[in-house]
Chain A
Amino acid sequence: MTEPLLSKEIINCGSIERESIPSLSIDGLSRHLRESVQNGQRVSALFGIPSLEGEGVEIIALLADDAQGRLWISRTHLQDKRFPSLTPGCPQLHLFERELAEDFGLEPEGHPWLKPVRYPQNPLGGELNQKPASIGIQDFYRVEGEEIHEVAVGPVHAGVIEPGHFRFQCFGEEVFHLEISLGYQHRGIEQALVGGPNQKTLHYLETAAGDTTIGHGTAYCHLLEALTDTEPPLRGQVLRSLALELERLANHIGDMGALSGDVGFLPTASYCGRIRGDFLNMTALLCGNRFGRGVNMPGGVRFDLEDDSLKQLIKMVEIGKQDAKVAIELLWESASVMARFEGTGTLAEKTARQLGLVGPAARASGLSRDIRSDHPAGFYRFTHIPLSSWKTGDVFARAYVRWQEIQQSLHFILEQLHNLPKGPVDSKVSQLKPNQLAVSLVEGWRGEICHLALTDEKGHLSRYKVVDPSFHNWPGLAYSLRNQQISDFPVCNKSFNLSYCGFDL
């Protein structure tokens, strides 16, 4: 007897007929996800879409098998609002299920932590399960006890950062539990993408998380190229990957400075604050905007790199490389920094794996996952950037992995700039294929950016799902704070440096 098909394979930057995705029962999907995750796969996305049959909700799941470099899609059709929660058997689904409940009024029974995610005014499923709660008004997890006290922070924080609410349960200085409640930045991006693509679509994705403009922009362009069978010219692909690595450099270097600032080590904090700006200016050299607005377009990139700009860019990267080295290597030889970084905010490999962490945070806990090598797309198919990782899972590891990645990206950029292929930088994209599902994964500087799109019979977007790496990683921050001093929160938070708007969409 042959096994019934549980899932269909899809490649990164590829598309399949929507109808060809195997449909399982909810129990079947639950078992399949649980067993696959136990066997080392992870859930990249789980999301709902109003069913084609008119009633109920279709749930689509994307599993990533990083070791084998393969991606698998499954689905189920839910008629009933109630279903047995998948989270108890597979903890990394907990936020995805909360999102489903909020967007489609579903009731996952037995979900251990069924709370709002974004407090949307206009949920995707069209109807609200109940009257929307006011943002931030919810039952926070409480530790009882005479000497337990609660610390509430946000939504407006002390620094120049985005809003979110943090609720600490403390015993003296020690944090027993941290709960993170977001949604303040919710702008309704996924809702607005339905019916596209149109003049606004690329801009929505470029501002989904503004510090990841190039990452999200690339993910969108890959997706559109998959849906139109377009292969951008090689020069366009190289320029796109250069922009993505410049974005990684600017952000990683900024993070190194911010981490130094949070432990009171001002030399590196000052230097890196400025060097980050130098790398943003390199991005502006490519496209006129420091954050890479206007780098990407479906089919390639918008701007070519002229010969004199190329020479200028090589010079700027060489200088930036020296400056970054001098600034960052100071950290590893300063005992006062190392004493604060090492052993702080430790996240064990097992926890990181269970939570399904991605990006530098996952690699700092010893996990080997990087889209650029596991599921390469675009120019990363033709090159190899060694994976950077560390075992200790603490603030030091998250800083050190960034430093390794800074060096790898610099090496990659210089190599490509000296060997830039000639030719055009973009190609025309045609109409989108109808009734398709397409997947695009990009290793942004925070980790895996996952975009999925479904097209209707006319080739319009009927659903566009964005999973920012922060969606996977916020719970990692909450766990890393357990049994830490509350005064270590800033440095732990900075070591993850997650996106609020990328999560809230």
Chain B
Amino acid sequence: MFPILKSRIHQGYRTMEFPEGVKLPEKFRGKPFLAAGSTCPENCQSCIEACPTQALIQEGKLKIDLGKCLFCPDCQEACPQNYIQYARDFSLSARKREDLILEMDTETLKKAQSLDKEMKRVLGRSLRLRQVSAGGCNACEADSNVLGTIGWDMGRFGIQFVASPRHADGILLTGPVTQNMKLALLKTYEAIPEPKLVIAVGTCAISGGLFQTHPETCSGVEGILPVDLYIPGCPPHPSSILEGLLTLLGRLV
């Protein structure tokens, strides 16, 4: 008993304030953007060619699809002018898929809308989620699971992962939805009582990411389940996931 008490004193109180207490690493890569005053040479395609997931699109202006972005340093390294930088902001969630496609230079992500009044009344103070990994590499899964540890303690906001879909209010989906998991995912969704949410966490779940053209996957959740919240990242930082969930519930003002 005494060693346990002693250890408890050593470890101290470790739950961080959210979002004020979040400390991001110096090299954290949020949304990539073009530095102010960037004037890309005509016909320069270096960043577009370097991108492993075709997240960069040239449509008059250079655009980035955060739903495909791996937040890797490849485009930044490829830019001969060193124009590409990363924002150090972890708020990256969106309610609509098209909101994740942004102009590279100035456009910032719109703050995601919260659920409607009735849904907030039902779920706002108590959200139970069933996590389904459908081809996820265990990085998104691990950084979702970490929200249950004392550092993040999402339980204090009334959010919890549950073992059975019957006890859940929604699915937190990770992975590009492999063909081999499609049926299990649909059955899990069916087993959740109405009203229910689908939260797509990570680039794979949103667009298929690296695996978007693979016959082994369904290229993400699109067309398989209706999505209420997208949280991009590879994997998203835990603060991005928690911020997305709390925004959805209208708990962050």
Contacts and interface: CB of A to CB of B under 8 A. Distances in A.
B10 interface: yes
B215 interface: yes
Contact of B27 (A187, A284, A334, A504): A284
Given A185-B175, A199-B74, A211-B138, A288 B28 contact: yes
Nearest to A328: B7
Given A121-B179, A155-B184, A186 B216 contact: yes
B14 to A, nearest CB: 5
A160 B144 contact: yes
A290 interface: yes
A294 B32 CA distance: 15
Given A204-B210, A501-B135, 8 more contacts: A155-B184, A187-B176, A207-B210, A273-B148, A277-B146, A277-B149, A287-B27, A288-B73
B3 A185 contact: no
Given A120-B216, A156-B184, A187-B216, A162 B151 contact: no
Contacts of B135: 184-187, 501
A290 B28 CA distance: 9
B150 A210 contact: no
A167 interface: no
B51 interface: yes
A209 B138 contact: yes
Interface string B138-159: 1111111110111100000000
Please indicate which of the listed interface residues A155, A284, A303 has the most CB atoms of chain B within 10 Å of its own CB. Answer: A155
Contacts of A500: 138
A288 B86 CA distance: 11
B216 A188 contact: yes
B137 A208 contact: yes
A293 B70 contact: yes
The 6 closest A-B pairs by CB, nearest first: A210-B137, A210-B139, A288-B27, A273-B149, A158-B163, A188-B216
Interface string B187-230: 01000000000000000000000110011110000000000000
Contact of A122 (B72, B140, B216, B238): B216
Contact of B215 (A122, A184, A290, A293): A122
B11 A327 contact: yes
Contact of B134 (A160, A163, A183, A286): A163
A151 interface: no
Nearest to B181: A184
B216 A207 contact: no
Interface string B30-59: 000000000000000000011111000000
Interface in A136-187: 155-156, 158-163, 183-187
The secondary structure that dominates the A interface is loop
A187 B50 contact: no
B25 interface: yes
B98 interface: no
Contact of B7 (A162, A290, A326): A326
B180 A162 contact: no
A211 B133 contact: no
A330 B184 contact: no
28 contacts: A155-B181, A155-B184, A156-B132, A159-B161, A159-B163, A160-B131, A161-B138, A162-B138, A163-B133, A163-B134, A163-B181, A187-B135, A188-B216, A191-B214, A192-B211, A203-B72, A207-B234, A210-B141, A211-B138, A271-B11, A273-B151, A276-B149, A281-B25, A285-B26, A285-B27, A288-B86, A291-B235, A501-B135
Given A284-B25, A284-B27, A199 B211 contact: no
Nearest to B50: A199
Report the contact-size class of chain A (Cβ under 8 Å from the partner). 35 or more
A499 interface: yes
A199 B149 contact: no
A385 B9 CA distance: 33
Interface in A306-356: 309, 322-323, 326-327, 330, 333-334
Contacts of B178: 184-187
A270 interface: yes
A289 B29 contact: yes
B136 interface: yes
Contacts of A191: 214, 216
A78 interface: no
A160 B238 CA distance: 14
A462 interface: no
B52 A162 contact: no
A134 B216 CA distance: 13
A199 B54 CA distance: 10
A285 B23 CA distance: 11
A162 B214 contact: no
A274 interface: yes
Contacts of B217: 187-188
A327 B211 CA distance: 40
Given A160-B131, A160-B141, A327-B7, A185 B25 contact: no
Contacts of B51: 199
